[in-house]
Amino acid sequence: MRRLIAIGASMGGIVAVESVISRLPADTPPIVIVQHILPAFTGPFAKRLDASGPITVVEAANGDALRQGVAYLAPPHHHLLVKSVNGEMRAILSAAPPVRFHRPSVDALFHSLAELESVDIVAALLSGMGSDGADGLLALRRKGARTIAQDESSSLIFGMPKEAIARGAAEQIVSLEELPAAILACLGSWETSRGATRGALAHLVRRRARRA
């Protein structure tokens, strides 16, 4: 099963995103990030994130194949979308009009993820002003993704997480300190669930074999 982590943030998100990325292990599934930031600072922010921990962080380029242990930051003036191309997840850059006054937009990214099939997705909406990402997070939750919102006490600006929570989009509401562990726990829950399912099926097969 393919896996993907998605993070959206705005004002107050620079520190929040770094706090999360720096504490994820090198074998983490691909990560896609939309951070509202002035265009001139996107490149330096990607370098700062890259130096913060074991995850490799790059500015996304159109057509990039999403790889384990790599985080892809939306570049200036383009929406970052994810499409499945010949069974492989790829970054797609779009110059479509701004969404909720933003390009890149968190909603644009999240809605593109909601269209993917057979992908386990963990999506987190962090500190930020406005409501970008709230509708997209709800779409993801309705598709079965694991969804997380940063709590009020640890958010510099609680606008975006608050809007997501009000819509019922957040499965979990956690502090910034708890976010990396919450993401990893979501990934682990799929392993546990599938392991239990495989064990139950194997047990059923053995019972049928004995009866035969």
pLDDT given for residue 192 in this prediction: 54
Active site residues per annotation: 10, 36, 132
User: What residues contact 83, with CB distance under 8 A and at least 6 apart?
Assistant: 89, 90, 92, 112, 116
Give this prediction's pTM: 0.90
Whether residue 210 has pLDDT greater than 60? no
Number of domains in the chain: 1
Better-predicted residue by pLDDT, 189 or 95: 95
CATH number of the domain where residue 41 is located: 3.40.50.180
32-36, 65-69, 102-106, 198-202: the lowest-pLDDT one: 198-202
Burial label, 129 (beta-carbon count in 10 A; 0-12, 13-18, 19+): middle
Could you read off the pLDDT of 25-38 as tens digits, one per residue?
999 999 999 999 99
Percent of the chain with pLDDT over 70: 89
Average pLDDT value for residue range 82-107: 96
Q: Which residue has the tokens 């059923």?
A: 204
Instruction: Give the residue among 101, 98, 122 at the shortest CA–CA distance from 110.
Output: 122
CB 147 within 8 A of CB 140: yes
Range of the domain at 179: 2-211
Work out the pLDDT band at 72, boundaries 50, 70, 90: very high
Work out the pLDDT band at 211, boundaries 50, 70, 90: low
Q: Look at strands 79-85 and 88-94 and give their pairing.
A: antiparallel
